[in-house]
Amino acid sequence: MKVLSKGLIFAVAVATTAWLTSIAFATGGTTVSAAPVSTYAPGTAIPRHLAGTFKLAAAAQSQTAAQTPATPQMSDAVFKNVQVLKGIPVDQFMGTMGVFTTSLSLCCGNCHTGAGTSNPKWEDDPPRKRTARAMVTMVQNINKNSFGGRQVVTCWTCHRGQLAPSVTPPLDFAYGEAVVNPPDILARDQNATKTVDQIFDKFIEAEGGAAKVNALTSYTAKGKSLLFGEVGDGNPSEMFAKSTGQVATFVHQQEGDVVRAFDGTTGWWQLPLTVTPQYPLTSTLAEGAKFDAVMAFPWKIRTYFPNWRVSFGQTIDGDDVDVVQGQTTTGLIGTLYFSKKTGLLKRYIRYANTVVGRIPTQVDYSDYRDVAGVKMPFKYSYAWVSERDDWTFTAYEPNVTIDGAKFGRPDPKTAGEVAGRKAK
């Protein structure tokens, strides 16, 4: 109740407005109204317009962070005017918004009345939003009627970052430089000169060897992280990881903490000052959080997929890379890119499913240095449809004891209210 009763108005700081999907909202002096339809934990920064739809769950109040079960919040229960994206959890719903914005190069405010101001009306139906809704149905019908229900046509298929899809192939395209848009699912390179095992073996050797990597069972790392669109050298940031499959990252922004956490069972996202500042992850988004946790000790990913395959080599920033990809039966896809020169990991991309298309998450590594005999990246960039943060680590602390609560549900008090911040 803290935030709701304080009467503070937060608007997204100027510095962060360039976030692709950041949205300003107001948490105001409203009280939680009657007839709540969903539950939410106390203290969470709930946008004014959503306040009436949340009930402060009595049960949640007595739970510690680590014990909080991840009961998915469903779109129709949490939002007011959902007509085509019904019956999906909030994480996937917000993922679809991210797919819209990235596919059409739009901001939330291009479809939503007042998004980016202190008085958003997400439930309003301006013309472009109505068009988008009709497009969702159209795309579902195309996939159903022409492709046997496979999700092969998405918003990106036609729009490619434009409001009005291009109709005619430009001749500069025919005779100019090739623009490569690799597919998500990569073809196996039948003539690959290396096997999956050889690529992983070389990687582990480059990392410092099996003995060294196996001796690293936990670490914390500190540094700065610059959110996309911000200026300056970034916000203080921390990462915590255990080789038993837990990871948590915290970017301490002025407005609150950007958090990604996975405790071995449940994954959480927190993006302060957004319409749904904190939510648990479901299905392939949750699997993705688990994948990220394993990738904190990337030599352990070898056993993640039983079906790794070697695809065609690519070039990233002028560096030739070996590419391996694997996939779970539920649809999580993971692609790893190893530098041919150093054998070290340069990038991974993983994909999660939504009803309108896949959400990519891309992590890039560089500036490897020695930590307890293991090569660890001192630069790390984490990007997905809602934000990107670019990390510069100053120090790693290997093999430390980490409080398990770090990996659990983020403290809702950090989701938008920061001590010392002046009320406006």
* 46 forms part of the interface with ligand HEC (CB under 6 A): no
* 11 forms part of the interface with ligand HEC (CB under 6 A): no
Task: Specify the residue, 207 or 255, whose C-beta has the smaller distance to ligand HEC.
Answer: 255
Residue 50-89 contact track with ligand HEC, rule CB under 6 A, x = bound: -----------------------------xxxxxxx----
Residue type, 405: A
* 141 forms part of the interface with ligand HEC (CB under 6 A): no
- Nearest CA to 54 out of 71, 75, 33, 69 is that of 33
Q: What is the 3-state secondary structure (H, E, C) of 294-359?
A: HHCCHHHHHHCCCCCEEEEEEEECCEEEEEEEEECCCCCEEEEEEECCCCCEEEEEEEEEECCEEE
* 2 forms part of the interface with ligand HEC (CB under 6 A): no
Instruction: Locate 175 and state its tokens.
Output: 């005779």
Please report how close the Cβ of residue 343 comes to ligand HEC at its closest, in angstroms: 38
Question: 188 vs 238, 272, 302, 331, 344, CA distance in Å?
Answer: 37, 41, 17, 17, 21
Residue 150-169 contact track with ligand HEC, rule CB under 6 A, x = bound: ---x-x-xxx---xxx----
Please report how close the Cβ of residue 417 comes to ligand HEC at its closest, in angstroms: 20
Task: Specify the residue, 110 or 366, whose C-beta has the smaller distance to ligand HEC.
Answer: 110
* 33 forms part of the interface with ligand HEC (CB under 6 A): no
Which parts of 256-295 interact with ligand HEC (CB under 6 A)? 275
Task: Specify the residue, 168 or 401, whose C-beta has the smaller distance to ligand HEC.
Answer: 168
287-291 contacts, C-beta under 8 A, 24 or more apart: 287/328, 287/330, 287/332, 287/352, 288/332, 288/350, 288/351, 288/352, 288/361, 289/260, 289/261, 289/262, 290/245, 290/262, 291/332, 291/334, 291/350
Task: Specify the residue, 321 or 356, whose C-beta has the smaller distance to ligand HEC.
Answer: 356
Element (H, E) at 218: strand 218-227
Distance of CA 97 to the CA centre of its chain: 13
CA 390-320-342 angle, to 5 degrees, is: 75
Per CB under 6 A, the segment of 10-18, 126-134, 184-192, 373-381 that binds ligand HEC is 126-134
Rounded CA-CA distance 421/254 in Å is 8
Q: Are 232 and 54 in contact (CB under 8 A)?
A: no
Please report how close the Cβ of residue 82 comes to ligand HEC at its closest, in angstroms: 4
Task: Specify the residue, 106 or 374, whose C-beta has the smaller distance to ligand HEC.
Answer: 106
Options 2, 128, 413, 421; binder of ligand HEC; rule CB under 6 A:
128
Please report how close the Cβ of residue 50 comes to ligand HEC at its closest, in angstroms: 7
Query: Strands 38-40 and 54-56: what pairing?
Result: parallel
Task: Specify the residue, 25 or 250, whose C-beta has the smaller distance to ligand HEC.
Answer: 25
Please report how close the Cβ of residue 122 comes to ligand HEC at its closest, in angstroms: 4
Rounded CA-CA distance 408/391 in Å is 22
* 129 forms part of the interface with ligand HEC (CB under 6 A): yes
* 355 forms part of the interface with ligand HEC (CB under 6 A): no
Which parts of 328-347 interact with ligand HEC (CB under 6 A)? none
Helices (H), 124-269: 127-146, 155-159, 171-175, 196-207, 210-215
Task: Report CA dihedral (199, 334, 223, 405) to the nearest 10 degrees.
Answer: -120
Task: Specify the residue, 127 or 232, whose C-beta has the smaller distance to ligand HEC.
Answer: 127
Specify the 3-state DSSP secondary structure of 361. Answer: strand
Residue 93-122 contact track with ligand HEC, rule CB under 6 A, x = bound: ----xx-xx--x-x-x-xxx---------x
How many residues touch ligand HEC under the rule CB under 6 A: the total is 39
Which residues contact ligand HEC (rule: CB under 6 A)?
Answer: 21, 23, 79-85, 97-98, 100-101, 104, 106, 108, 110-112, 122-123, 128-129, 131-133, 135-136, 139, 153, 155, 157-159, 163-165, 275, 356
